[in-house]
């Protein structure tokens, strides 16, 4: 018998959700402890929940959904993962339709999800198409064996930038005591991230500083690969951060973001940030880095030059309701 139940945040649920996610994930591993921590620091001012699908007493699928922030407060972001053995039209519709009932509470008028151009997502992709979702953004995804990058090749670039006064520091290891460090870092990331392409109909929104600091503290305590900041005359002008999950994939770094202020672009700073970050990761035993960029973002040229190779693209689908 199929039943949809609300999420009750038990340890067994976190464990089973990780199991389901890992049946669907094609290139990553989730650990329940990481999921539990991330849930605990979530922004509780926004609606965020999970619907769990059971076959009798066995968890076979889950719908993750959340309300957007500020101008996106009527947009729902969701992820639908189902055990491949039970991934049928009936199970997909059960979770999807139940989510529609739940999000009526905040008058959601748009729903948005992301999948990968990979066989594990073929059935969900067809489900989205059949339900009149439109493809609104395509993202290039990359993987790189960073042990093969010729770091020395980029020494002249870094020396040139340093000669111009642009210096590179590790945020956690070298900058935590700098005056207003985290306020300046949050402002930098918000400023350059507004230039990142996003689907039409969705707007960039700024996380409240208090919530941003919760995320920062968790990052530094539990998944810190590195965070490199470019500084010129005490001004923060660019940064990149990479997460490493010791309980899941100790060898792999995941790029959280990378950006440079507009007026400092086309100088090689983004490349230098990547190289500085890769140097730090190599010292920690990390051998692979994953990153992504929107299909038309020129950042792909930097990734290709460094030796990043394409893996299945990610696709974002949206529907107005």
Q: What is the CATH number of domain 142-313?
A: 3.40.630.30
Name the residue ranges covered by the structural domains of the chain.
2-131, 142-313
The pLDDT value recorded for residue 97 is: 98
Q: Binning pLDDT at 50, 70 and 90, where does residue 299 land?
A: confident
pLDDT tens column, 122-154: 999 999 999 999 999 999 999 999 999 999 999
pLDDT over 70 percentage in the chain? 100
For the beta carbon of residue 140, count every other beta carbon within 10 angstroms.
Answer: 20
Distance CA 287, CA 214 (A): 28
Phi, psi (deg, nearest 5) at residue 137? -160, 140
Mean pLDDT of 198-222: 97
**54 has pLDDT over 90:** yes
Question: SS3 sequence, 31-85?
Answer: CHHHHHHHHHCCCCCCCEEEEEEEECCEEEEEEEEEECCHHHCCEEEEEEEECHH
Distance CA 93, CA 82 (A): 11
pLDDT tens column, 60-105: 999 999 999 999 999 999 999 999 999 999 999 999 999 999 999 9
Residues in the chain, overall count: 321
Please tell me the pTM assigned to this model: 0.95
CATH superfamily of 2-131: Gcn5-related N-acetyltransferase (GNAT) (3.40.630.30)
C-beta of residue 300 within 8 angstroms of C-beta of residue 140: yes
pLDDT tens column, 152-194: 999 999 999 999 999 999 999 999 999 999 999 999 999 999 9
**Which residues does residue 140 pair with via DSSP β-bridges, in sequence order?**
293
pLDDT over 90 percentage in the chain? 98
Distance CA 232, CA 247 (A): 36
Distance CA 66, CA 46 (A): 7
pLDDT tens column, 229-249: 999 999 999 999 999 999 999
Q: Binning pLDDT at 50, 70 and 90, where does residue 297 land?
A: confident
Tokens of 48: 């965020």
C-beta of residue 136 within 8 angstroms of C-beta of residue 200: yes
| Domain 2-131 shares a fold with domain 142-313 | yes
Rounded to the nearest 10°, the torsion over CA 7, 8, 14, 15 is -110
The pLDDT value recorded for residue 295 is: 86
């Amino acid at each position: 018998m199929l039943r949809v139940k609300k999420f009750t945040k038990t340890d067994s649920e976190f464990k089973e959700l990780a199991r389901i996610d890992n049946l669907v994930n094609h290139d990553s591993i989730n650990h329940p402890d990481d999921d539990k921590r991330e849930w605990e620091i979530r922004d509780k001012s926004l609606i965020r929940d999970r619907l769990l699908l059971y076959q009798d007493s066995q968890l076979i699928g889950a719908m993750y959904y959340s309300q957007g922030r500020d101008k996106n407060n009527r947009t729902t972001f969701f992820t639908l993962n189902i055990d491949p053995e039970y991934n049928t039209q009936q199970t997909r519709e059960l979770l999807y339709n139940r989510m529609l009932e739940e999000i009526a509470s905040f008058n959601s008028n748009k729903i948005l999800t992301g999948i990968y151009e990979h066989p594990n997502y073929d059935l969900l992709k067809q489900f989205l198409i059949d339900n009149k979702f439109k493809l609104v953004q395509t993202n290039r995804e990359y993987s790189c064996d960073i042990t093969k990058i010729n770091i020395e090749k980029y020494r002249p670039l870094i020396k040139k930038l340093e000669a111009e006064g642009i210096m590179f520091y590790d945020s956690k290891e070298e900058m935590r005591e700098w005056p207003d460090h985290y306020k300046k870092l949050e402002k930098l990331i918000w400023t350059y991230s507004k230039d990142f392409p996003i689907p039409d109909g969705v707007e960039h929104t700024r996380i409240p500083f208090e919530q941003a600091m919760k995320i920062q503290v968790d990052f530094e305590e539990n998944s810190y690969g590195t965070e490199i900041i470019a500084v010129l005359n005490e001004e923060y002008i660019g940064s990149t951060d990479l997460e490493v999950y010791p309980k899941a994939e100790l060898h792999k770094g995941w790029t959280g973001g990378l950006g440079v202020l507009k007026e400092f672009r086309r100088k090689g700073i983004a490349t230098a940030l990547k190289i500085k970050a890769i140097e730090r990761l190599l010292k920690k035993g990390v051998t692979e880095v994953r990153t992504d960029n929107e299909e038309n973002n020129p950042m792909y040229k930097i990734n290709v030059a460094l030796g990043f190779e394409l893996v299945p693209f990610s696709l974002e689908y949206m529907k107005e309701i």
